[in-house]
Structure 1
Amino acid sequence: MKLNTIKLQHFRKHDNLEFSPSGGITLVYGPNGTGKSNILEAIHFCALARGMNNAPDRECMNFAADHFLLQGFFESDLEVACDIQVSYSPREGKRISLNKSDLPRFSDLIGVVPCVTFSPLELPVVNGPPGERRRFVDSALCQISRTYLERLQQYRRILQQRNALLSKAAYEPHYKQSIHLWTEHLAEAAAAVMTDRLHFLEEFSVAVDEVFSLMGIGETPSISYRSSLGMSGDLAGFDVIKDFIFSRFSDINEQEIQRKQTLIGPHRDDFLFEIDGKEVKRYASQGQMRTFLIALKIALQKYIFSKKSEAPVFLLDDIFSELDDIRVEKVLEVIHESGQAIITSTSKKNIDFLDEVALHTLLNS
């Protein structure tokens, strides 16, 4: 997949901007605060129906504007055109169209344009709370599997219903009879989500190992599932996981009623990132954390390509400020000729295989 052209109207700092990157690596450079990252965010909107850092849609409008409009013109690796339009106004809300047909659900856009991002603001994926790592894994899986997206949505709906019953049962005991039925549904939905996640980690870990090797880091990474169920690592398979989950729910039923919430399940699970057997979050240096995150993103780009036979658009924001020159060179070597990549920087780099574009030339064109 590659982006041919994107047009921004009243989006962030840009009143009217058109950008056409090359099919390789394009470097957009310019001073801080001039809107380089806004271009990446606009591309991310067209691919995943939201901004890179989950900012409210309203905040993405240009100052004093009453709407924004994004038009992205993509082309698949099989040369099939894919035109996406995203608009937002406080009055009409967000609207998304694909090849001029409105999408009834924003989630229908997920996976159409595979997209992988790197931003310094994403470092919490490595050193932050479990929710950041769950979001990383779920976002990756949703881009390659419509089935997983639907299973995750179903799990969240059942979880919401069960939590509502637990809250009522704390004051009105007759609601306890209904909890058992929803627990059965939740155990089944949870097992489906966990089975997919475990299978993903098994394959994705191989891709991460390969990227570490290609980058010549000289360290051994590992990723494992840290379950809230107290589930041992050798449990695998849908039926085994489902039965184990249901058993655990029975054990903590009264505790959940007292707490008025579901205390175990995929929504509370975590993923353990390690380098040479030591937890990255606790023991890695800042440089190791940044390198680990970049390796995760490069591995994800390669993994999505292996599953969809479609190279994701790769968006890397301010990557040069995060790494020393040697690691930057390694990163660029790995992503070179791996599909389209768009990078932002405060300065020109004069590297042979980079197509470099000064932001001021875009603003003045």
Structure 2
Amino acid sequence: MIVNKLKIKNFRNFKEETIDLNNSLNIFIGDNGQGKTNLMESIYLSSIGRTFRLNSENELINFKENKSCIEISMVKNNYNIKIELFLEKGKRKQVLVNGIKLDKTAEMIGILNNVIFTPDDMKIIKGSPIERRKFVNIDISQIKPKYKYLLNRYKKIITERNIILKNYYTKAENKDIINIWNDYLINTGFEIILFRNDYINKLKKYSVDIYKDISGNKEKLDLSYCCNIGSLDNKDNDRIKKMFNEKISMNFKQEVLRGTTLYGPHKDDIIIKIDGKECKYFGSQGQQRSAILSLKLAEIEIIKEEIGEYPILLLDDVMSELDNKRKGYLINYIKGIQTVITTTDDYDLNVLTKNYNKNIFYIDKGKISNITN
């Protein structure tokens, strides 16, 4: 999968830019606040349908304008694909793929596969379980279209079930319908659990070996799926579903008392350990960065395994977060993977990538110029 061209109009601080991307390495250099992350955001938005930053969609449009658009031309599985994304203040965004309007933005997920690595990804290690669930949910949604549907369905089930729990004793009909919503919860949650378990096993398979290489075979990374309903080890599907049902039945009075659903994949976590110790609490800064790097590179390999092609890799100002050893490992690893890198300092990158086929761009106040020698 290769992105050939990116067109941006009235997006963030960009007025109108057209960029021809190298099918190998693309380096965007500029000071902070000039638009480097905005560029990454435009590609990510065209892939996932939402930003990786906490902003409203109106803020994505240049403050002097009412409309914005992003156009991406790419080749995937030998097919030419054009993605067009339109933003207008006060209206829902629209997405066209090869000229055909999508009914829902979620339908675009999985067309332009990406793996993004930003300094904020340290939250996957240091943050709450919400960050780790978000990480897994985005990854699985890119390669398993059904998973996104299940997540949306599950969210609605939780909302409706919580309303019933909060009003369980005040509305007589709630006692008649709660078992129906319990079945919805268990059946949909069960499918999500199976998807997550499979994905985390694959993530472990790749990331453990990658971390071993980064650490010079001196340390061992381990991942485990902390499923809220209990351990899945050595349990078949029927036993997992039965276990889920038992959790709901045994804790129903507590759920009614608290007015919320206490068990299900919305409470899951991933435990990340190095040499048997939880990385969140006991890992050094270097170990935590190596763990994140391993997870991100493992993402790439899983997508390649699933769709037969590498995704585009987006590295947003992460080189400054890595020491020379990890920089070297990363740059060596991405050979053969289309990569977009943003940085404030190109010296180390020029040394590390001197033999790479690459395009080098300079960003200044939303203006992009190609400075490749």
Global fold match (TM > 0.5): yes
Show the counterpart of 2:186: 187
Counterpart contact for 2:362–2:368, Cα < 8 Å? no
Aligned AA (1:302): E
**Counterpart Cα distance in 2 of 1:310 and 1:333:** 18
Aligned AA (1:355): N
Alpha carbons of structure 1 residues 275 and 155: separation in structure 2 relative to 1, 3 Å: same
Aligned match for 2:343, one of 345, 352, 356: 345
Show the counterpart of 1:109: 108
Counterpart contact for 2:14–2:367, Cα < 8 Å? no
For residues 161-180 of structure 1, the aligned pairs below 5 Å read 161-180=160-179
Show the counterpart of 1:43: 43
**Counterpart Cα distance in 1 of 2:359 and 2:290:** 24
Show the counterpart of 2:274: 275
| 1:214 CA drift (Å) | 3.8
| 1:317 CA drift (Å) | 0.4
**Counterpart Cα distance in 2 of 1:34 and 1:65:** 19
**Counterpart Cα distance in 2 of 1:53 and 1:196:** 26
Counterpart contact for 1:190–1:242, Cα < 8 Å? no
Deviates more, 1:36-45 or 1:348-357: 348-357
Deviates more, 1:129-138 or 1:282-291: 282-291
- Cα RMSD, aligned residues only: 1.7
**Counterpart Cα distance in 2 of 1:115 and 1:253:** 41
Show the counterpart of 2:359: 355
Show the counterpart of 2:145: 146
Matched residue SS, 1:93: coil
Show the counterpart of 1:96: 95
1:334 aligns with 2:339: no
Aligned residues: 362
For residues 198-347 of structure 1, the aligned pairs below 5 Å read 198-217=197-216, 218-229=218-229, 231-337=230-336, 339-347=337-345
**Counterpart Cα distance in 2 of 1:269 and 1:303:** 21
**Counterpart Cα distance in 1 of 2:276 and 2:315:** 28
Counterpart contact for 1:170–1:258, Cα < 8 Å? no
Counterpart contact for 1:116–1:313, Cα < 8 Å? yes
| 1:232 CA drift (Å) | 2.8
Q: Deviations over 1:99-122 (max 9, x none)?
A: 111100111101111111000122
Counterpart contact for 2:214–2:290, Cα < 8 Å? no
**Counterpart Cα distance in 1 of 2:169 and 2:270:** 32
**Counterpart Cα distance in 2 of 1:287 and 1:18:** 38
Counterpart contact for 1:73–1:83, Cα < 8 Å? yes
Q: Deviations over 1:298-340 (max 9, x none)?
A: 1101111011102101101001110111210111111122x20
Counterpart contact for 2:361–2:369, Cα < 8 Å? no
Alpha carbons of structure 1 residues 94 and 346: separation in structure 2 relative to 1, 3 Å: same
1:124 aligns with 2:128: no
Alpha carbons of structure 1 residues 216 and 335: separation in structure 2 relative to 1, 3 Å: farther
**Counterpart Cα distance in 2 of 1:32 and 1:185:** 48
Alpha carbons of structure 1 residues 53 and 235: separation in structure 2 relative to 1, 3 Å: farther
| 1:67 CA drift (Å) | 1.8
Counterpart contact for 1:214–1:334, Cα < 8 Å? no
What is the TM-score when the length of structure 2 is the normalising length?
0.92
Aligned AA (1:363): I
What is the TM-score when the length of structure 1 is the normalising length?
0.94
Counterpart contact for 1:114–1:310, Cα < 8 Å? no
Q: Deviations over 1:166-201 (max 9, x none)?
A: 122153354122111210221111111111211111
Matched residue SS, 1:359: strand
**Counterpart Cα distance in 2 of 1:133 and 1:238:** 24
Which structure 2 residue ranges, 5 or more long, are not aligned? none
Alpha carbons of structure 1 residues 269 and 344: separation in structure 2 relative to 1, 3 Å: same
Counterpart contact for 2:26–2:339, Cα < 8 Å? yes
Matched residue SS, 1:72: strand
Q: Deviations over 1:67-98 (max 9, x none)?
A: 2111111111x331111111111233211111
| 1:362 CA drift (Å) | 5.3
Alpha carbons of structure 1 residues 331 and 14: separation in structure 2 relative to 1, 3 Å: same
**Counterpart Cα distance in 2 of 1:216 and 1:263:** 39
Show the counterpart of 1:70: 70
**Counterpart Cα distance in 2 of 1:226 and 1:308:** 27
Counterpart contact for 2:168–2:174, Cα < 8 Å? yes
Matched residue SS, 2:224: strand
Deviates more, 1:118-127 or 1:53-62: 53-62
Show the counterpart of 1:25: 25
